């Protein structure tokens, strides 16, 4: 389980220096493609679809000519990105340079700004909504071939950003120590003394932000009002049940964090090192929040960046997200086509469907962030 944060945990300068060093260690890139279309006149950096290259075969040819792709903030154990990256390399013979896998969404943007014009800059982004929606001026519009199979609410109309995958907010717990909670109020019981943790700080970490949103909804709040979630966290703290340790696979395996609110794909993955670790979705509204795929407008490998987008939304990569216990954005299309195991879909979605899901829009996210900034410090002081 890896914590992906919206904002930097460390000081800005230190974060930028660390990212610069990590990205500079990547192998040098080829210059941006200026051709690739059937007449050789296409500028890959301005292409808005594979058709601009003359079709998928021409896009693949242009990307192979660049020979590499720079990605950032993609942990191999997060939503199956290790397999997704390996699949891209194997299918297209293009080297993927993966820098700073544990970087935050904000650090991704900062790295792109800091390395602008250099061949080590990130080509593509994988961002939480709060960062993606405030940085659209840094993205290049692009519509993948599967565009029509992506719901309208999951994409910007020109393709500046497109939702790629989500988890379901869940509670992981050590079944050797704790009974399975059914309702959120169960966590206030003495059995959960010093046991309940969030994956990070909700003013910084996307998973923790979603946890507070989920808890708010489970307590009757709206997704634009995190007040009930903050109030419940205070109740947990007053009862001695709230644990301020930031959970990791190591703290879960050691038993230091016996109950963790986190994305379902992280909690399910934790069972690999902790067989007694179980994952449940508490009764009530089901909170999801999709991450966002986007192309860096200043990508040093613009054709490879666009081919990566095609790969991410292909049947193969969307199925790999599913195998990593993440919910792919094209899940309804995959289900309708019968191209994925229905039992796996049932397992990953915990028997829910998109009709059951709640997720905040930009205005609701802004309101929630403002309230957390104002009140969260009092909970953890």
Q: What percent of the chain has pLDDT over 90?
A: 70
When pLDDT is cut at 50, 70 and 90, the band that residue 123 belongs to is very high
Count the neighbouring beta carbons within 10 Å of the beta carbon of residue 337.
Answer: 11
Distance CA 74, CA 99 (A): 8
* CATH code for residues 12-166+291-338: 3.40.190.10
Q: Would you kindly state where each structural domain of the chain is located, as residue ranges?
A: 12-166+291-338, 169-287+357-380
- Is the model's pLDDT at 223 over the cut of 80? no
Task: Return the pLDDT at 359.
Answer: 86
By DSSP bridging, strand 139-140 and strand 196-198 are unpaired
8 Å CB contact between 310 and 56: yes
When pLDDT is cut at 50, 70 and 90, the band that residue 206 belongs to is confident
Task: Return the pLDDT at 151.
Answer: 92
Low-confidence winner among 44-48, 133-137, 299-303, 353-357 (lowest mean pLDDT): 353-357
Distance CA 10, CA 298 (A): 26
Distance CA 60, CA 67 (A): 10
When pLDDT is cut at 50, 70 and 90, the band that residue 100 belongs to is very high
Q: Closest Cα to residue 205, out of 169, 236, 235, 258?
A: 169
* CATH code for residues 169-287+357-380: 3.40.190.10
155 pairs with which residues across the strands? Answer: 162
Do 12-166+291-338 and 169-287+357-380 show the same overall fold? yes
- Is the model's pLDDT at 25 over the cut of 50? no
Backbone angles phi, psi at 133, to 5 degrees: -75, -10
Distance CA 194, CA 331 (A): 37
By DSSP bridging, strand 124-127 and strand 139-140 are unpaired
Task: Return the pLDDT at 131.
Answer: 85
- Is the model's pLDDT at 26 over the cut of 60? no
When pLDDT is cut at 50, 70 and 90, the band that residue 40 belongs to is low
Low-confidence winner among 27-31, 167-171, 252-256, 367-371 (lowest mean pLDDT): 27-31
Mean predicted confidence (pLDDT) in 198-224: 89
Distance CA 226, CA 217 (A): 8
Placement of tokens 């199956």 in the chain: 80
Structure tokens belonging to residue 18: 């660390």
Task: Return the pLDDT at 342.
Answer: 84
Backbone angles phi, psi at 380, to 5 degrees: -105, 5
By DSSP bridging, strand 357-358 and strand 286-287 are parallel
Task: Return the pLDDT at 321.
Answer: 96
When pLDDT is cut at 50, 70 and 90, the band that residue 23 belongs to is very low
């Amino acid at each position: 389980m890896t914590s992906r944060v919206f904002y930097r945990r460390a000081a800005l300068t230190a974060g930028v220096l660390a990212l610069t060093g990590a990205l500079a260690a990547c192998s040098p890139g080829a210059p941006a493609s200026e051709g690739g279309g059937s007449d050789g006149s296409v500028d890959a950096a301005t292409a808005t679809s594979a058709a601009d290259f003359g079709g998928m075969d021409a896009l693949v040819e242009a990307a192979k000519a660049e020979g590499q792709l720079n990605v950032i903030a993609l942990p191999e154990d997060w939503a199956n990105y290790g397999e997704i990256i390996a699949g891209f390399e194997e299918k297209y013979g293009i080297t993927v340079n993966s820098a700073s896998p544990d970087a935050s969404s904000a650090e991704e943007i900062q790295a792109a700004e800091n390395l602008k014009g250099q061949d080590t800059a990130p080509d593509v982004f994988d961002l939480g909504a709060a960062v993606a929606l405030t940085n659209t001026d840094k993205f290049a519009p692009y519509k993948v071939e599967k565009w029509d199979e992506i719901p309208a609410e999951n994409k910007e109309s020109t393709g500046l950003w497109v939702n790629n995958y989500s988890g379901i907010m869940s509670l992981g717990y050590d079944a050797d120590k704790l009974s399975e909670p059914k309702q959120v109020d169960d966590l206030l019981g003495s059995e959960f003394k010093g046991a309940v943790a969030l994956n990070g700080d909700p003013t910084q970490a996307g998973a923790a932000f979603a946890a507070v949103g989920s808890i708010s909804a489970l307590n009757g709040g709206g997704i634009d009002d995190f007040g009930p979630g903050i109030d419940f966290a205070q109740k947990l703290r007053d009862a001695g049940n709230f644990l301020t340790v930031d959970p990791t696979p190591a703290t879960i395996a050691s038993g230091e964090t016996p109950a963790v609110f986190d994305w379902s794909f992280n909690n399910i993955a934790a069972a690999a090192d902790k067989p007694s670790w179980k994952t449940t979705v508490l009764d009530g509204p089901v909170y999801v929040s999709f991450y966002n795929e986007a192309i860096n407008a200043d990508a040093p490998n613009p054709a490879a960046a666009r081919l990566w987008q095609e790969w991410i939304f292909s049947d193969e990569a969307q199925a790999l997200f599913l195998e990593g216990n993440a919910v792919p954005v094209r899940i309804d299309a995959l289900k309708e086509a019968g191209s994925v195991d229905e039992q796996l879909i049932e397992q990953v979605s915990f028997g829910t469907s998109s009709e059951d899901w709640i997720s905040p829009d930009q205005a609701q996210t802004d309101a929630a962030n403002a309230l957390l900034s104002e009140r969260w410090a009092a909970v953890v002081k």
